[in-house]
Protein backbone atom coordinates (compact mmCIF):
# COMPACT_ATOMS: atom_id res chain seq x y z
CA UNK A 1 0.00 0.00 0.00
CA UNK A 2 1.32 3.44 -0.94
CA UNK A 3 1.07 6.59 1.18
CA UNK A 4 -1.73 7.73 -1.11
CA UNK A 5 -3.61 4.48 -0.68
CA UNK A 6 -3.18 4.51 3.08
CA UNK A 7 -4.41 8.08 3.37
CA UNK A 8 -7.47 7.36 1.23
CA UNK A 9 -8.34 4.34 3.35
CA UNK A 10 -7.96 6.26 6.64
CA UNK A 11 -10.12 9.12 5.39
CA UNK A 12 -12.74 6.68 4.11
CA UNK A 13 -12.91 4.71 7.36
CA UNK A 14 -13.25 7.79 9.57
CA UNK A 15 -16.27 9.15 7.65
CA UNK A 16 -19.60 7.95 9.00
CA UNK A 17 -22.25 7.22 6.33
CA UNK A 18 -24.72 9.56 8.03
CA UNK A 19 -22.38 12.49 7.40
CA UNK A 20 -22.76 12.10 3.63
CA UNK A 21 -26.38 10.97 3.47
CA UNK A 22 -25.66 7.27 2.89
CA UNK A 23 -28.50 5.12 4.21
CA UNK A 24 -27.28 2.02 6.02
CA UNK A 25 -29.07 -1.19 6.93
CA UNK A 26 -28.00 -4.22 8.91
CA UNK A 27 -24.66 -4.87 10.53
CA UNK A 28 -21.47 -3.32 9.14
CA UNK A 29 -17.91 -4.46 9.66
CA UNK A 30 -16.73 -0.85 9.68
CA UNK A 31 -18.28 2.34 10.97
CA UNK A 32 -16.84 4.27 8.04
CA UNK A 33 -17.72 4.32 4.37
CA UNK A 34 -17.44 1.20 2.27
CA UNK A 35 -15.43 1.36 -0.94
CA UNK A 36 -18.55 1.06 -3.08
CA UNK A 37 -20.15 3.95 -1.17
CA UNK A 38 -17.12 6.18 -1.71
CA UNK A 39 -17.04 5.20 -5.38
CA UNK A 40 -20.70 6.17 -5.82
CA UNK A 41 -20.18 9.52 -4.08
CA UNK A 42 -17.09 10.34 -6.15
CA UNK A 43 -18.46 9.08 -9.46
CA UNK A 44 -15.69 6.53 -10.06
CA UNK A 45 -15.69 2.75 -10.24
CA UNK A 46 -15.32 0.57 -7.16
CA UNK A 47 -12.42 -1.22 -8.86
CA UNK A 48 -10.58 2.09 -9.24
CA UNK A 49 -11.03 2.92 -5.55
CA UNK A 50 -9.66 -0.55 -4.68
CA UNK A 51 -6.66 -0.09 -6.97
CA UNK A 52 -5.94 3.35 -5.52
CA UNK A 53 -6.02 2.07 -1.95
CA UNK A 54 -3.89 -0.97 -2.81
CA UNK A 55 -1.34 1.14 -4.66
CA UNK A 56 -2.03 -0.42 -8.07
CA UNK A 57 -3.28 2.89 -9.50
CA UNK A 58 -0.79 5.64 -8.75
CA UNK A 59 -1.54 8.46 -11.19
CA UNK A 60 -5.15 9.65 -10.70
CA UNK A 61 -6.19 12.78 -12.54
CA UNK A 62 -6.83 16.09 -10.81
CA UNK A 63 -10.52 15.70 -11.60
CA UNK A 64 -10.67 12.33 -9.84
CA UNK A 65 -8.74 13.68 -6.86
CA UNK A 66 -11.11 16.63 -6.61
CA UNK A 67 -14.11 14.29 -6.64
CA UNK A 68 -12.55 12.08 -3.95
CA UNK A 69 -11.65 15.09 -1.80
CA UNK A 70 -15.23 16.31 -2.05
CA UNK A 71 -16.71 12.87 -1.28
CA UNK A 72 -14.38 12.37 1.69
CA UNK A 73 -15.13 15.84 3.12
CA UNK A 74 -11.43 16.68 3.30
CA UNK A 75 -10.22 19.90 4.84
CA UNK A 76 -8.12 22.33 2.79
CA UNK A 77 -4.89 20.94 4.27
CA UNK A 78 -5.98 17.34 3.64
CA UNK A 79 -6.96 18.20 0.08
CA UNK A 80 -3.50 19.66 -0.55
CA UNK A 81 -1.93 16.53 0.96
CA UNK A 82 -4.05 14.30 -1.29
CA UNK A 83 -2.81 16.06 -4.41
CA UNK A 84 0.79 16.05 -3.16
CA UNK A 85 0.71 12.31 -2.44
CA UNK A 86 -0.59 11.73 -5.95
CA UNK A 87 2.30 13.75 -7.40
CA UNK A 88 0.16 16.67 -8.57
CA UNK A 89 0.22 20.33 -7.68
CA UNK A 90 -2.68 21.23 -5.37
CA UNK A 91 -5.36 23.47 -6.87
CA UNK A 92 -4.38 27.12 -6.62
CA UNK A 93 -6.34 30.13 -5.55
CA UNK A 94 -7.10 30.99 -9.17
CA UNK A 95 -9.20 27.84 -9.54
CA UNK A 96 -12.93 27.57 -8.80
CA UNK A 97 -13.40 26.60 -5.12
CA UNK A 98 -15.25 23.33 -4.61
CA UNK A 99 -14.96 22.96 -0.84
CA UNK A 100 -18.20 23.11 1.14
CA UNK A 101 -17.56 24.37 4.69
CA UNK A 102 -18.89 22.30 7.62
CA UNK A 103 -21.46 24.98 8.45
CA UNK A 104 -23.00 24.63 5.00
CA UNK A 105 -23.09 20.84 5.30
CA UNK A 106 -24.99 21.21 8.58
CA UNK A 107 -27.43 23.49 6.80
CA UNK A 108 -28.04 20.86 4.14
CA UNK A 109 -28.72 18.21 6.78
CA UNK A 110 -31.01 20.35 8.93
CA UNK A 111 -33.27 21.57 6.15
CA UNK A 112 -35.10 18.26 6.08
CA UNK A 113 -38.29 19.69 4.55
CA UNK A 114 -36.76 22.23 2.14
CA UNK A 115 -34.98 21.36 -1.13
CA UNK A 116 -31.46 22.84 -0.95
CA UNK A 117 -28.49 22.45 -3.31
CA UNK A 118 -24.98 23.93 -3.36
CA UNK A 119 -23.25 24.95 -6.60
CA UNK A 120 -19.77 26.30 -7.26
CA UNK A 121 -19.03 29.50 -9.17
CA UNK A 122 -19.22 27.65 -12.51
CA UNK A 123 -22.66 26.20 -11.68
CA UNK A 124 -21.45 22.67 -11.00
CA UNK A 125 -23.60 20.88 -8.44
CA UNK A 126 -21.44 20.06 -5.41
CA UNK A 127 -24.03 18.66 -3.03
CA UNK A 128 -27.78 18.52 -2.45
CA UNK A 129 -30.03 17.30 0.32
CA UNK A 130 -32.58 14.52 -0.09
CA UNK A 131 -35.57 16.88 -0.66
CA UNK A 132 -33.74 18.55 -3.57
CA UNK A 133 -32.99 15.19 -5.18
CA UNK A 134 -36.61 14.13 -4.71
CA UNK A 135 -37.81 17.35 -6.36
CA UNK A 136 -35.31 17.74 -9.20
CA UNK A 137 -33.96 14.22 -9.68
CA UNK A 138 -30.33 13.11 -9.69
CA UNK A 139 -27.72 14.56 -12.02
CA UNK A 140 -24.69 12.55 -13.10
CA UNK A 141 -21.51 13.26 -15.02
CA UNK A 142 -21.48 16.43 -17.10
CA UNK A 143 -25.16 17.00 -16.33
CA UNK A 144 -24.08 18.10 -12.85
CA UNK A 145 -23.05 21.40 -14.43
CA UNK A 146 -26.16 23.52 -14.97
CA UNK A 147 -24.66 25.43 -17.92
CA UNK A 148 -23.66 22.26 -19.78
CA UNK A 149 -27.01 20.68 -18.96
CA UNK A 150 -28.90 23.71 -20.30
CA UNK A 151 -27.06 23.98 -23.62
CA UNK A 152 -25.90 20.43 -24.35
CA UNK A 153 -27.42 18.05 -21.81
CA UNK A 154 -30.71 16.61 -20.68
CA UNK A 155 -32.25 19.81 -19.32
CA UNK A 156 -34.14 19.74 -16.04
CA UNK A 157 -37.64 19.44 -14.61
CA UNK A 158 -37.97 23.24 -14.61
CA UNK A 159 -40.30 24.60 -17.30
CA UNK A 160 -39.85 27.99 -18.98
CA UNK A 161 -41.56 30.22 -21.45
CA UNK A 162 -39.45 31.24 -24.45
CA UNK A 163 -38.66 34.59 -22.83
CA UNK A 164 -37.75 32.94 -19.52
CA UNK A 165 -35.46 30.46 -21.24
CA UNK A 166 -33.67 33.21 -23.14
CA UNK A 167 -33.17 35.11 -19.90
CA UNK A 168 -31.88 31.99 -18.12
CA UNK A 169 -29.41 31.22 -20.91
CA UNK A 170 -28.06 34.77 -20.85
CA UNK A 171 -27.76 34.72 -17.05
CA UNK A 172 -25.85 31.41 -17.05
CA UNK A 173 -23.42 32.60 -19.72
CA UNK A 174 -22.88 35.87 -17.83
CA UNK A 175 -22.16 33.92 -14.64
CA UNK A 176 -19.68 31.68 -16.47
CA UNK A 177 -17.95 34.73 -17.96
CA UNK A 178 -17.62 36.14 -14.46
CA UNK A 179 -16.15 32.86 -13.17
CA UNK A 180 -13.53 32.82 -15.94
CA UNK A 181 -12.49 36.36 -15.07
CA UNK A 182 -12.11 35.48 -11.38
CA UNK A 183 -10.40 32.11 -11.91
CA UNK A 184 -8.18 32.45 -15.02
CA UNK A 185 -5.98 29.51 -14.01
CA UNK A 186 -8.76 26.91 -13.86
CA UNK A 187 -8.10 24.44 -16.68
CA UNK A 188 -11.39 22.57 -16.15
CA UNK A 189 -13.33 25.81 -16.46
CA UNK A 190 -11.57 26.67 -19.72
CA UNK A 191 -12.28 23.17 -21.03
CA UNK A 192 -15.96 23.53 -20.13
CA UNK A 193 -16.21 26.81 -22.04
CA UNK A 194 -14.38 25.33 -25.05
CA UNK A 195 -16.73 22.32 -25.14
CA UNK A 196 -19.80 24.53 -24.88
CA UNK A 197 -18.57 26.87 -27.62
CA UNK A 198 -17.91 23.95 -29.94
CA UNK A 199 -21.13 22.08 -29.19
CA UNK A 200 -23.66 24.92 -29.05
CA UNK A 201 -23.96 27.75 -31.57
CA UNK A 202 -26.30 29.54 -29.17
CA UNK A 203 -23.77 29.38 -26.35
CA UNK A 204 -20.98 30.59 -28.64
CA UNK A 205 -23.08 33.54 -29.79
CA UNK A 206 -24.00 34.51 -26.23
CA UNK A 207 -20.42 34.03 -25.05
CA UNK A 208 -19.04 36.33 -27.71
CA UNK A 209 -21.69 38.92 -26.83
CA UNK A 210 -20.59 38.71 -23.16
CA UNK A 211 -24.05 39.35 -21.68
CA UNK A 212 -23.92 41.27 -18.41
CA UNK A 213 -26.94 39.75 -16.71
CA UNK A 214 -26.69 38.52 -13.10
CA UNK A 215 -28.42 35.31 -12.11
CA UNK A 216 -31.32 36.24 -9.84
CA UNK A 217 -33.94 34.55 -7.72
CA UNK A 218 -37.17 33.66 -9.50
CA UNK A 219 -40.46 31.86 -9.33
CA UNK A 220 -40.16 28.52 -11.11
CA UNK A 221 -42.43 25.83 -12.47
CA UNK A 222 -41.20 22.31 -11.75
CA UNK A 223 -42.78 19.45 -13.69
CA UNK A 224 -42.53 16.53 -11.28
CA UNK A 225 -43.31 13.03 -12.62
CA UNK A 226 -45.41 12.10 -9.56
CA UNK A 227 -47.37 15.24 -8.66
CA UNK A 228 -47.34 17.32 -11.84
CA UNK A 229 -46.58 21.02 -12.14
CA UNK A 230 -45.37 22.80 -8.99
CA UNK A 231 -45.08 26.59 -8.68
CA UNK A 232 -42.19 27.31 -6.31
CA UNK A 233 -40.00 30.20 -5.23
CA UNK A 234 -36.36 29.60 -6.09
CA UNK A 235 -33.97 31.75 -4.04
CA UNK A 236 -30.23 31.97 -4.52
CA UNK A 237 -28.00 32.66 -1.54
CA UNK A 238 -24.28 33.44 -1.83
CA UNK A 239 -21.54 32.12 0.44
CA UNK A 240 -19.10 34.94 -0.23
CA UNK A 241 -15.83 33.60 1.25
CA UNK A 242 -16.17 30.19 -0.43
CA UNK A 243 -17.81 31.56 -3.61
CA UNK A 244 -20.71 29.13 -3.50
CA UNK A 245 -24.34 29.44 -4.61
CA UNK A 246 -27.04 27.92 -2.44
CA UNK A 247 -30.33 27.22 -4.21
CA UNK A 248 -33.44 26.91 -2.05
CA UNK A 249 -36.94 25.95 -3.21
CA UNK A 250 -39.99 26.85 -1.12
CA UNK A 251 -43.77 26.94 -1.62
CA UNK A 252 -46.28 29.49 -0.43
CA UNK A 253 -47.63 28.53 3.03
CA UNK A 254 -50.92 26.63 3.07
CA UNK A 255 -51.00 26.39 -0.71
CA UNK A 256 -51.70 23.36 -2.88
CA UNK A 257 -48.07 23.61 -4.03
CA UNK A 258 -46.88 23.29 -0.43
CA UNK A 259 -49.06 20.21 0.08
CA UNK A 260 -47.81 18.53 -3.09
CA UNK A 261 -44.19 19.49 -2.38
CA UNK A 262 -44.57 17.71 0.97
CA UNK A 263 -45.75 14.62 -0.96
CA UNK A 264 -42.63 14.76 -3.12
CA UNK A 265 -40.30 15.09 -0.17
CA UNK A 266 -42.08 12.42 1.80
Beta bridge partners of 239: 244
- CA angle at 217 for the pair 214 and 222, rounded to the nearest 5°: 125
pLDDT of 23 reads 64
**Over the stretch 156-194, which tens digit does the pLDDT of each residue have?**
999 999 999 999 999 999 999 989 988 888 888 999 999
How many Å apart are CA 245 and CA 235, to the nearest integer? 10
Highest mean pLDDT among 10-19, 21-30, 75-84, 188-197: 188-197
Instruction: Work out the pLDDT band at 24, boundaries 50, 70, 90.
Output: low
* DSSP secondary structure string for all residues of 5-41: HHHHHHHHHHS-GGGGT----S--S-SS--HHHHHHH
Instruction: Tell me, yes or no, whether 58 and 117 share the same domain.
Output: no
Instruction: Tell me, yes or no, whether 234 and 125 share the same domain.
Output: yes
Instruction: Tell me, yes or no, whether 244 and 114 share the same domain.
Output: yes
pLDDT at 29 over 80: no
Instruction: Tell me, yes or no, whether 131 and 247 share the same domain.
Output: yes
How many domains does the chain fold into? 2
pLDDT at 245 over 90: yes
Please check whether residue 93 lies inside any domain of the structure: no
pLDDT at 93 over 70: no
How many Å apart are CA 247 and CA 33, to the nearest integer? 28
pLDDT of 92 reads 63
Domain that holds residue 232: 102-265
Amino acid sequence: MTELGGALRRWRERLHPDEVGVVTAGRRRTSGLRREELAALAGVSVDYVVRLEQGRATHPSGQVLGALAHALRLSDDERRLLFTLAGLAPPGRDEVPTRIPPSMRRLLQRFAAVPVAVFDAAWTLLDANAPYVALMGEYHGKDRNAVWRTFLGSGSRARYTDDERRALEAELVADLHDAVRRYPGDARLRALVAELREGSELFARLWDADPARPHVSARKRIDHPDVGLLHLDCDLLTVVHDDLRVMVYTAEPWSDDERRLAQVIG
